[in-house]
Amino acid sequence: MSLKVAQALKKIVGEDNVLELPEDVLPYTLDASIIYKGMPTCVVRPHSTEEVSKIVKFANENRIPVVPRGAGTNLVGAAVPPNGGIVVDLTGMNRILEINTVDLRCTVEAGVVHAKLESELAKYGLFWPPDPGSSDSCTMGGVIAMNAGGMRALKYGTTRDWVLGLKVVLPNGEVIKTGSKTFKGNAGYDLTRLFVGSEGTLGIITEATLKLRPIPEAESRICAYFDSIEKAGVAVSKIYMAGIVPAAMELMDKGVIIAVNKWLGKKFPEMDACLIVSVDGSKEEVGALANKVERVLKESGASQVLRATTQEEFNEIWLIRSEGATALPNVTGKMNVTHDVCVPISKLPEVFKEIRKICEKYGIPVAILSHAGDGNVHAIFSVNLKDPEETAKAKKAHDEMCRYIIKIGGTISGEHGIGIDKAELLVEEVGPVAMELMRSIKRLLDPNNIMNPGKMGV
């Protein structure tokens, strides 16, 4: 069967674009979640929407699972083929088709790397506001399929707020266009947002038209250290209460700070939490906002408040945030298992305390890295995945944390998605009626259940 599948796909994309050998498909057996794995029948690398359409039509006719994949940077198993089948690697579709500086939009193929797009847009003084942490490798198709967020989400919103339209290959191979090239549109159901965040379960995104903005004239960065993470959480609310909407507001706990110091040989104060606040806008506006932020942080009980006055200091402050996730596994000797939840901002102090309490209960070391400005918390478990007992305890800690988050009015995923990792918990958050509605949409568009089956609980 696998031989027949490969031969049929080679007729569509050519022999060089179909991978069959175990050593060639090995990188596609897992994604950045690390935990989840699956062996594909083969991997196919298309270079056009037409080729994707033919691939999906063939798969649908033969009831073969299809797993769309970009760079595989997601953390919930969304790009893993647990049921085998065809992995469609979209990284070859990597053209920036248009940058329109008058209408403030661009059109890109799914395989364009986010950082490359940002670099090209910067030449025109423009940027696309969502900023996923894996910018150097993640592709725009994956960013859109997972509705990525990032550090600027509190001011600018997430991916769904910056997508004007899509080109999508449906599970039967047909191609549709959603949305328009305009900033407003009220023609029928919002199909664009249906596909944004659908994790490849409803179709394959091959092109996207995105909304852009001019790069702000200036940005300032302030770093504050607190002797308790709860105080830092309260400070987040006080920033907003002072009438300030930062470009980013990132919180790292002591575990992250210590790891960065050891990994990079730095001497950042090893206090219980560090809160980094960035403000952007015109030079005059930024100066006034930065002064206000400093004052609020000091009034909130910060032990130290540092404001970047040079580009070197600006970059140095950010190292605690940018290098935290890399430093932790290198220092602990264990794997990072990053769990993403989101809560009302007022709940942050309580949530930080409860996550630590739950992990202490199960004996799982945890570090907290949070997009605190929008209530998004990443609990980073350090786990020896080769130890079944430790892995089982980490799973229990994760599930208890998620159920607690649901109980207080939060969500089990702020930006990383559901994938395999949280499929069983999704119904507990949204309820059985809403879950069945989602499954009905899935059945309507994908009656043969070929499109990324086993993900999102649908």
189 CB neighbour count, 10 Å cutoff: 8
Is residue 234 predicted with pLDDT exceeding 90?
yes
Domain span(s) for CATH 3.30.70.2190 in the chain = 218-325
Q: Tokens standing for 349? A: 């102090």
> What are the φ and ψ backbone dihedral angles of 211, each rounded to 5 degrees?
-90, 140
Q: How far apart are CA 293 and CA 248, in angstroms?
A: 12
Which CATH number describes the domain made up of 1-215? 3.30.465.10
**Cβ distance 33 to 413 under 8 Å?**
no
Residue-level pLDDT at 1: 62
Q: How far apart are CA 256 and CA 264, in angstroms?
A: 12
Nearest to 94 by CA among 208, 204, 182: 208
Q: Which of the four pLDDT bands, split at 50, 70 and 90, describes residue 3?
A: confident
> Which one-letter amino acid corresponds to residue 126?
L
User: 184-194: per-residue pLDDT in tens?
Assistant: 999 999 999 99
User: 284-323: per-residue pLDDT in tens?
Assistant: 999 999 999 999 999 999 999 999 999 999 999 999 999 9
- Collapsed DSSP state (helix, strand, coil) of residue 367: strand
**Start-end of H helices in 177-303:** 191-195, 229-241, 254-264, 283-299
- Collapsed DSSP state (helix, strand, coil) of residue 300: coil
Q: What is the mean pLDDT of residues 26-38?
A: 94
Q: What is the mean pLDDT of the chain?
A: 97
User: 116-155: per-residue pLDDT in tens?
Assistant: 999 999 999 999 999 998 999 999 999 999 999 999 999 9
Q: How far apart are CA 251 and CA 264, in angstroms?
A: 19
Q: Tokens standing for 30? A: 């897992």
Q: How far apart are CA 342 and CA 150, in angstroms?
A: 13
Residue-level pLDDT at 2: 79
Percent of the chain, pLDDT > 90? 99
Nearest to 108 by CA among 124, 123, 89, 128: 128
Residue 281, H or E segment: strand 273-281
Q: Which of the four pLDDT bands, split at 50, 70 and 90, describes residue 389?
A: very high
Q: Which of the four pLDDT bands, split at 50, 70 and 90, describes residue 364?
A: very high
Indicate the pTM of the whole model: 0.96
Residue-level pLDDT at 408: 98
C-alpha count within 13 angstroms, C-beta hemisphere, residue 5: 25
- Collapsed DSSP state (helix, strand, coil) of residue 138: coil
User: 80-110: per-residue pLDDT in tens?
Assistant: 999 999 999 999 999 999 999 999 999 999 9
Domain span(s) for CATH 3.30.465.10 in the chain = 1-215
> What are the φ and ψ backbone dihedral angles of 87, each rounded to 5 degrees?
-90, 125
**Cβ distance 154 to 346 under 8 Å?**
no
Structurally, at CATH architecture level, domain 218-325 sits in 2-Layer Sandwich (3.30)
Token pair 């790397």 is at which residue? Answer: 113
- Collapsed DSSP state (helix, strand, coil) of residue 118: helix
Is residue 383 predicted with pLDDT exceeding 80?
yes
Is residue 79 predicted with pLDDT exceeding 90?
yes
Which CATH number describes the domain made up of 334-430? 3.30.70.2740
Token pair 């949280």 is at which residue? Answer: 422
